Structure 1
Amino acid sequence: MTGIVKTAQAEAWNGYEGEHWATNADRYDAVNSGFNGYLLDQMRAEDRVLDIGCGNGQLTRLAAARARSTIGVDLSGPMLATARARAAGVSNVSFEQGDAQVHPFAEGAFDLAVSRFGVMFFADPVAAFANIRRALSPGGRLAFLCMTALAGTDLGRIFGAMAAYLPQPTGPDGSGPTSFADPDHTRAVLSEAGFEDVACTHVEADQIWGRDVPDAAGFIADWGPVRHHLGQVDSTRAAKATEALRVALEKFAGPEAVRLHGTAWLVTGRRR
């Protein structure tokens, strides 16, 4: 394990948060896999692909079927163990544990860097993307998905239902998971990091959160940030928050699943 910045993020992704994502790999893929096509469409057969914040490796494996080679990088040991197990036998996939902000990538080793919701937590995003830029060949491309602002979205309504009892688990819009919710800010960061032709395209996909309301509510309540905040309040407030969560999910329940309509920014650019 090299290039790990010792932060709360590293501790979380190698502790409960990473364990929860690894244990529930299929469930998290059900939430996010509807967005895969937006990144897979960026790939060419000759590309050497870097998957940043690869997690359990679904996108990394799918990229291997389209590109020359793929390497997934992530902070989380538990998720990388899952990723490696699921990629067993795929010859053009490998995984490395490290922090993309400082990881010693070989200069010019990749033609395309991608990420599915894995770049929103950099302590110094300009430095992080500059490090990623150095890993790209001249004219190499960047394509990542990040969260939009939560206001007005289905997920925003779900979290908003708990707001009377708990802090917003993702923080205010523009911080944490929504740190790249403002396209002007994103373009400024990437430009300073050495990228050009930066574009932010609004994209959408359905997200499956559970087979029914109790299943989805339990899954969300066990998600790291929600679980943390539930543990910070008394049992009465926690019970009211979980009931509010359950009620909010009812409007999204169908005969086969609880399905929210998700939104994201597809951000693309090129090494300057």
Structure 2
Amino acid sequence: MAGTHQVDPANAEQLRAWDGTEGAYWAAHAERFEQALREYDPPFFEAAAIAPTDRVLDIGCGTGGSARAAARLAIAGSVLGVDLSSAMLDVARGAAEREGLANVSFEQADAQIHPFDEGAFDVAISRAGAMFFGDAHAAFTNIARALRPGGRLVLLVWQPFPRNEWVVEIMGALAAGRDLPAPPPDRPGPFSMGDPDHVHALLTSAGFGDVRVSGLEGRTFFGRDPDDAHRFVAGLMPWMLDGLDDAARAGALDALHRTMQAHHTAEGVAFRSAAWLVTAHAHPDPA
């Protein structure tokens, strides 16, 4: 927890995960995570419409792939990436330095309560990083305050659990016959913004207008080949094996490998996925 200026108590659990072992795993596999959603990048950045002089805020920037992409667009502007993970931010800073991107910076901060300057940004983006706030209303109210009047918000968030083959099949394999519940949609997590009506109400109540939610479908990539993807996912979701004896654990890992084999393509191991592209404007004029 050292290094963060302030974290809302509602996000303490997220801080423990992202500034702990989970964030460290993401940092160690940065390139893989940044490539996983590559089919979503074109519509995401088209919607963001980042201009050369824009000031951009990247929420939950992780290892900085989206922030660096934004910096290459805002060549005469600036980009600030914020995240709870010090390990991922170290990777982000190193990658930006290697690319010579002097217009992007990174800060370990809780965007739910961080004291951004009012009206400091033209665009706020989040690529699969806005679903984890303990108090989403407070978070988006703070983000709206940080945007100039009419500033743009662009989010990529997951559609509900059943529409995402990647998590359905991976969890199904690792369940080893257990009846495991799907991730709850009403708690911080990947699917907390899966209901478009909820997203519309949330952002409207937080000070945004012109809220639009459109569906996207693409592939999510997990590795070069079945062996590579198997190692990666087994390391990513070890908690799925908790409580299993040796035989059941081995069976679950075998099932996971078969799942990876079934999804092996010429471009790597890929699963179908579905996301929402969410756009809105902050502090809209009454007209």
Question: When the two structures are superposed, what TM-score results if normalisation uses the length of structure 1?
Answer: 0.93
Residue number among 185, 194, 219 corresponding to 2:207 in the alignment = 194
Deviation per CA, 1:128-152: give whole Å up to 9, x if none: 1000000000111100101111214
In structure 2, the partner of 1:94 is: 105
Aligned-pair CA distance for 1:206: 2.4
- Residues 70, 190 of structure 1: alpha-carbon distance in 2 compared, 3 angstrom cutoff: same
Q: Does 1:36 align with 2:41?
A: yes
Residue type matched to 2:161 in 1? L
Partner deviation per Cα, 1:84-114 (whole Å, 9 max, x = no partner): 0011131110011011111111110001100
**Pair 1:129–1:152, CA change in 2 (3 A):** closer
Alignment of 1:72-83 (within 5 A): 72-83=81-92
RMSD: 1.8
Counterpart position of 2:54: 47
Question: Which residue does the alignment assign to 1:218?
Answer: 231
Secondary structure of the equivalent of 2:263? coil
Could you tell me which residue of structure 2 aligns to residue 12 of structure 1? 17
CA contact 2:185–2:193 (8 Å) conserved in 1 = no
Look up the SS of the partner of 2:264 in the other structure.
coil
What is the percentage of aligned positions where both structures have the same residue?
43
Superposed displacement of residue 169, structure 1:
8.7
The Cα of 1:63 is off from its aligned counterpart by 0.4
Mapping of 1:236-255 within 5 angstroms? 236-255=247-266
Partners of 1:65 and 1:82 in 2: how far apart?
A: 18
Residues 120 and 135 of structure 1: CA distance in aligned 2, closer, same or farther (over 3 Å)? same
Specify the alignment match of 2:71 in structure 1.
Answer: 64
The whole-number CA distance in structure 2 between the counterparts of 1:72 and 1:167 is: 39
- State the match for 1:203 in structure 2: 216
Q: Which residue of 1 aligns with 2:281?
A: 270
Please list every run of 5 or more consecutive structure 1 residues that lacks an aligned counterpart in the other structure.
none
Q: Aligned in 2, Cα 1:152/1:51: closer, same or farther, shift over 3 Å?
A: closer
Query: TM-score, normalised on structure 2?
Result: 0.88
1:131 to 130, 142, 145: 142
Give 5+ residue unaligned stretches, structure 2.
none
CA distance in 1, matches of 2:160, 2:256: 20
Structure 2 distance, partners of 1:247, 1:198, is: 41
Verify the 8 A CA contact 2:119 2:146 in the aligned structure 1: yes
CA contact (8 A) 1:51 1:71 kept: yes
Alignment-mate amino acid for residue 107 of structure 1: E
